[in-house]
Amino acid sequence: MRVKAAVTWDAGAPFVLEDVELDQPKATEVLVEVVATGVCATDAGAAGGHMGVPFPIVLGHEASGIVKEVGEAVTYVKPGDHVVVACCLCGTCDNCLTGKPGSCEHIPRLNFGGAMEDGTKRLSKDGHEISTFFGQSTFATYAVTNEKNLIKVDKSLDLELLGPLGCGIVTGSATVLEGLKPKSGSTIAIYGCGAVGLSAVMAAKISGCLKIIAVDINDDRLKLAKELGATDVINSKAQDITEMVRSLTDGKGVHYGVDATGNSMVAKSALAALTNQGELCLIGAGYQEIGIDLNTEFLFGTKKLSGYIAGLVSSKYIVPRLIEYYKQGQFPFDKLVTFYDFEDINQAFEDSKTGITIKPILRIKK
């Protein structure tokens, strides 16, 4: 079938809306009419040539939509169901089978390899294949994906809003709720107040953290962090991160840290700002090599450095939970969102890059 898609023809090239061909879903696959899809830093990194994806490619990996057609072996959804599309996991490796799908052994191939799980592609133009992203490619009016990547949602919900629950919003919140699992009354510092970091702030409040320190260089984002639950904020452009975090915790440091910046110097400062037995989780892509004193931080400091993808848990578990928190007013992620028409995709990416917008969402279906 013919669909409209935003094609990235080469690394660093702008998105171009094109008419492309999309193959029908295979046995365990589903055709989804894309209602809306989030713009994520991972899309920007891939478009810039930093993720190793093969070009040309249709990006997009955090969408919401309506099931239009299902393969003959599909049992989880039916036409008409409302769904969120999450990242692609194999479901059969040791980590997937033992309840830690965020550590799926095949994440790189399934999400960044440019093909579907069976190694074939579904998109083409004029007979030339176009690569797939995250097993979905949702910068398009329709997408084909495996049924296991879908989460059914109630039809009473605002479907346009839900796409980012497939990736960015979950990355920050599940890292806190299911990865770190901070004890009530503990202290946490969150570095970077984009969509991922602010989702972590809201999750820290839900978890009952006594002190929630938000760190960024943008005062407007720090103001929003306070509205969402941060007890203290630090503008790291003008202040020493480690010194300020320690001063806000009577010199002790924080029990937990979440670094959503991808900046190696921030990560080093965040590690130094932990109390002994503290844990820092890195969830921002882009870290460069940096020297760390292993004796000071780990042997004598007994600190932990970890990485989580969506808190390691299943999207089918965490997304409904976040929706419930949202309905209760505890997780107002709608405050992070700005909507853009599909035709304005390049502007959405530019506004995200410059910090004008925290979480852009493209309206695909009008």
Q: What's the pLDDT tens digit per position in 154-204? A: 999 999 999 999 998 999 999 999 999 999 999 999 999 999 999 999 999
Q: How far is CA 45 from the centre of its chain?
A: 13
Contact 263, 237 (CB under 8 A): no
- Distance CA(325)–CA(244), nearest Å, equals 31
* pLDDT band at 99; cut points 50, 70, 90: confident
| DSSP-derived secondary structure for 235-255 | ETTTS-HHHHHHHTTTTS-EE
* pLDDT band at 287; cut points 50, 70, 90: low
Q: Say what the alpha-carbon torsion angle 246, 247, 248, 252 is, to the nearest 10 degrees.
A: 40
* pLDDT band at 285; cut points 50, 70, 90: confident
Whether CATH 3.40.50.720 fits 172-309: yes
Q: Which homologous superfamily does the CATH classification assign to the domain defined by 2-166+332-363?
A: Medium-chain alcohol dehydrogenases, catalytic domain (3.90.180.10)
pLDDT tens by residue, 17-32: 999 999 999 999 999 9
- Distance CA(301)–CA(312), nearest Å, equals 26
Tell me the one-letter amino acid at 59. Answer: L
Q: Average pLDDT of the chain? A: 95
Tell me if 2-166+332-363 shares its fold with 172-309.
no
pLDDT at 279 over 90: yes
pTM over 0.75: yes
Q: Secondary structure of the chain: what % helix, strand, coil (to 5)?
A: 35, 25, 40
From 189, 343, 194, select the one nearest 273 (Cα to Cα): 189
Residue ranges of domains in the chain: 2-166+332-363, 172-309
- Distance CA(172)–CA(206), nearest Å, equals 13
Q: When comparing pLDDT for 294 and 201, which is higher?
A: 201
